[in-house]
Amino acid sequence: MTVLASPTATVTLGGAAPSLADVVAVARDDARLALDPAALDAMAASRGVIDALAQDPLPHYGVSTGFGALATTFIDRDRRAQLQLSLVRSHAAGTGPEVEREVVRALTLLRLSTLLTGRTGARPVVAQTYAAILNAGITPVVHEYGSLGCSGDLAPLSHVALAAIGEGLVRDAEGTIVPAADALAAAGIAPITLEEKEGLALINGTDGMLGQLVLALADLERLVTTADVTASMSVEALMGTDAPFAADLQALRPHPGIGAAAANMRRLLADSPIVASHRGPDCTRVQDAYSLRCAPQVAGAVRDTLAHARAVAERELAAAVDNPVVTEDGRVESNGSFHGAPVGYVLDFLAIAVADLASMSERRIDRLLDPARNHGLPPFLAHEAGVDSGLMIAQYTAAGIVSDLKRLASPASVDSIPSSAMQEDHVSMGWHAARKLRRAVCGLARVLGIELLAASRGLALRAPLDPSPATAAAAAVVTEAARPGPDRFLAPEVDAAALAVRSGDVLAAVEHRIGPLHHA
């Protein structure tokens, strides 16, 4: 078996439910997997129930019948291996662009986690093969389209199952597309020969949408805290006040997210010579614009939305999502746990929150560039307004992204297209909600990156007044890109700022200077 170089950690699966951090570690950092022997024993025990039902002349869904609208069709024993194989082959019907490696690794891991609950009736060798595929760095090719988020993420999970039986295409540990059979052979992994119920057990889950929710939560925890940083920088650059962020004022409306965001902004603006310069009685400013004064209210509401989504994700990580399931007392029961509504709703909810957070950031960018509202800064923060355009078009870019985010905020989970001859007559569209949230998270990072550029340049133009130690640390991450001067090729600077935001470099620089902030 191929061993990945310098694995960052080992995650043991099969005892307690995997944590959010476990999923991210395997999906993004190639953490190696170990399987709990007790979980493998539980799988073997539940497999005995399936083997007994296979002998029964009465039909049992998924064991001795067809699927979906064909659930009443009895299948003879000598055809059941072909039934499971045909299920995987026919359901591996995805099309469109290739899904990202980290998403495929996350959904593979989460299907493995459900197998290890012992509620699917699959044999231990199935789980061991999935773990071996992940540890070998093999990534099945999964496509953008094919899931309705009900009866599970059928097509995406089927492409993974197809690879496990040695068919279809994968990317090997070096990222090269090769036939699955070749990749498995090179890694010393024997393809699975499916038995009763196992094909169904491999494709009937919410793992694709859940995996993307977990990855989005990891990104948004960092981005929402970074939004407190860029908002504080804009408050300073626009000669705003920190007075509305006072703890006693926030306590009058005791939402935990708002309190955390305001506390961050107080710390970020502490010891700011710019803020101090206009704090006295001579200041004629009565109150700041909403995009400054209400920053904790919006970022705080996003935090509370994240907390709800995190609770849903943690419950889902502890779930055994399959149909039918093997119960503790040995029954095999059909159920509706594969329906993606619980996950789909929070994916859509997060897309709304992301769009609004980015929208407020874009309003601060626009304010920084407008000489009628930026309190003495040059038009568009340009070196020589008229000859130079400064950051004028960077604001256009942010506005275009925000417009896209508003479209992506339209919920997918309110839609339903019946399928399978009306047997599956209400579906969640959770996979679609996950895909658009993934795009929205990327857009938010880019908008915050543009605010970082604009606010950093605004702070530089306030010299000789200095910013706070915290905001100075953030500005230092993009010092070259943010420095005032004649116009230059801007696109690389916008991309570099977005990367600094998304990678966590901005947040790390701030926390290195002033210590940990409240994270979302």
Q: Which residues are catalytic?
A: 61
Contacts of 308 (CB under 8 A, 6+ apart): 346, 349
DSSP single-letter state for residue 492: H
Pair 158, 363: CB distance under 8 Å: no
Task: Tally Cβ neighbours within 10 Å of residue 314.
Answer: 15
Mapped to the 3 state alphabet, what secondary structure does 305-325 carry? Answer: HHHHHHHHHHHHHCCCCCCCE
Query: Residue 428 — φ and ψ, nearest 5°?
Result: -90, -25
Pair 300, 258: CB distance under 8 Å: yes
Contacts of 218 (CB under 8 A, 6+ apart): 20, 24
**CA separation for the pair 434, 153 (Å, rounded):** 11
Mapped to the 3 state alphabet, what secondary structure does 380-394 carry? Answer: HHCCCECCECCCHHH
**CA separation for the pair 423, 440 (Å, rounded):** 33
The H or E element containing residue 6 is none
Structure-token pair, residue 355: 């769009």
**CA separation for the pair 172, 59 (Å, rounded):** 40
| Residues in the chain, overall count | 520
Give the end-to-end CA distance of the chain in Å, rounded to a whole number: 39
Pair 266, 247: CB distance under 8 Å: yes
Question: According to DSSP H, which parts of 318-468 are helical?
Answer: 341-369, 392-408, 430-461
